[in-house]
């Protein structure tokens, strides 16, 4: 009798674990809304409750456990491995990250802006590719995320190329020139709230932060999606736009990056 109970408990536990780790995520691969709810709401809530920590804190802990200090690529690879095999997070990810890498290497920006730092993954990825005397200004609305990102950036050894600022993008964009003594950005990476992509782009135009040839790179334009932004950059004579098809980070759901050259 006791053995039967033990076997039932073990079997039930194994089934729950399989459902949690493989079965449910695979079933949701092509149901975007349900997949995002599972990965970005339900599972983090369960893990936060069980472990008494937040997902950004767990990502930072993994970096400190496994990544080589001062090695940006090791930090990026560690986060990718963790998010692909342990706990999903909305970084640009390894697959779309290679697209971002190629654009950064092509442009070789001296002045670059990132909207949406989260845990610092893309800031580290970008900063590791910047030429000497270049600067990445990365902006994060959430002060808790910003505190984690600072530690990840420092662990990667790229803090000399990164300036992390906190607050709403709509407040910061109009004072960028005065605060940082710049004329315009060579490259802008949009990876914050998707409904802010379009108003922030228009605000950068109004503030003269985009010059002829400046490039906007927007993540997650399909999933979760930024349809008003896509309609604008694809339909405006001020932009030449190209879509790079890929997948939502660490999944098989279609997503992609939109690269838009500002024509003036």
| Catalytic residue selected from 62, 191, 200, 258 | 191
194 assigned to active site: yes
Is 191 among the catalytic positions?
Answer: yes
Q: For residue 37, give the H/E element and its range.
A: helix 32-37
- The count of domains in the chain is 1
Answer whether residue 245 shows pLDDT above 60.
yes
Q: Judge whether 19 lies within some domain.
A: no
Determine the average pLDDT of the residues in 101-121: 98
User: In this predicted structure, what is the pLDDT of residue 45?
Assistant: 87
Is 66 among the catalytic positions?
no
Asked whether residue 28 is assigned to any structural domain, the reply reads: no
Q: Which of 114, 140, 219, 258 does the annotation list as catalytic?
A: 219
pLDDT at position 2: 52
| CATH of residue 129 | 3.40.50.150
Tens-place pLDDT, residues 144-167: 999 999 999 999 999 999 999 999
222-234 burial, b at 16+ Cβ within 10 Å, e below that, comes to: bbbebeebbebbe
Answer yes or no: is 158 within a domain: yes
Question: Residue 126's CB: how many other CB atoms inside 10 A?
Answer: 28
252: in domain: yes
**Full domain range(s) for residue 212:** 93-262
Q: Tell me whether residue 64 is one of the annotated catalytic residues.
A: no
Residue 180 is assigned to a structural domain of this protein? yes
Question: Which entry of 220, 255, 258, 259 is annotated as an active-site residue?
Answer: 220
Q: Record the pTM.
A: 0.89
Q: Which of 140, 161, 186, 194 is catalytic?
A: 194
Cβ contacts of 174-178, under 8 Å, gap ≥ 24: 174/203, 174/207, 176/113, 176/137, 176/207, 176/209, 177/207, 177/208, 177/209
Helix (H, G, I), strand (E, B) or coil at 91: coil
Q: Which of 114, 186, 249, 255 is catalytic?
A: 249
Encode 92-110 in three state secondary structure.
CHHHHHHHHHHHHHHHCCC
Instruction: Label residue 190 exposed, middle or buried (CB < 10 Å: 0-12, 13-18, 19+).
Output: buried
Q: Is 54 a domain residue? A: no
* Beta strands 111-115; 135-140: pairing state: parallel
| pLDDT tens for each residue of 17-58 | 434 454 455 545 666 667 777 777 788 888 889 889 999 999
Residue 58 within a domain: no
Could you tell me the pLDDT band of residue 76, with boundaries at 50, 70 and 90? very high
Residue 18 lies in a domain: no
């Amino acid at each position: 009798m006791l053995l039967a109970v033990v076997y039932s408990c073990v079997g039930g536990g194994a089934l729950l674990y399989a459902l949690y780790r493989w079965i449910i995520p695979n079933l949701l691969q092509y149901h975007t809304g349900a997949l995002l709810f599972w990965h970005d709401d339900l599972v983090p809530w369960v893990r936060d409750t069980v472990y008494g920590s937040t997902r950004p804190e767990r990502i930072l802990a993994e970096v400190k456990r496994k990544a080589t200090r001062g090695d940006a690529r090791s930090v990026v690879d560690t986060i990718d491995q963790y998010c692909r095999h342990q706990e999903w997070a909305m970084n640009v990810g390894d697959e779309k990250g290679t697209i971002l890498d190629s654009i950064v290497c092509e442009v070789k920006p001296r002045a670059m802006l990132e909207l949406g730092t989260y845990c610092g993954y893309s800031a580290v990825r970008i900063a590791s590719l910047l030429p000497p005397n270049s600067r990445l200004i990365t902006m994060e609305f959430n002060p808790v995320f910003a505190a984690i990102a600072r530690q990840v950036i420092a662990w990667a050894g790229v803090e000399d190329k990164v300036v992390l600022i906190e607050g709403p993008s709509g407040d910061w964009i109009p004072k960028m020139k005065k605060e940082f003594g710049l004329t315009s950005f060579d490259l802008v990476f949009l990876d914050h709230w998707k409904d802010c992509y379009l108003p922030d782009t228009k605000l950068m135009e109004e503030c003269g932060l985009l010059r002829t040839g400046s490039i906007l790179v927007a993540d997650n334009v399909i999933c979760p999606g930024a349809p008003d932004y896509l309609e604008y950059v694809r339909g405006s004579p001020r932009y030449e736009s190209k879509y790079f098809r890929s997948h939502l980070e660490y999944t098989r759901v279609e997503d992609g990056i939109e690269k838009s050259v500002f024509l003036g």
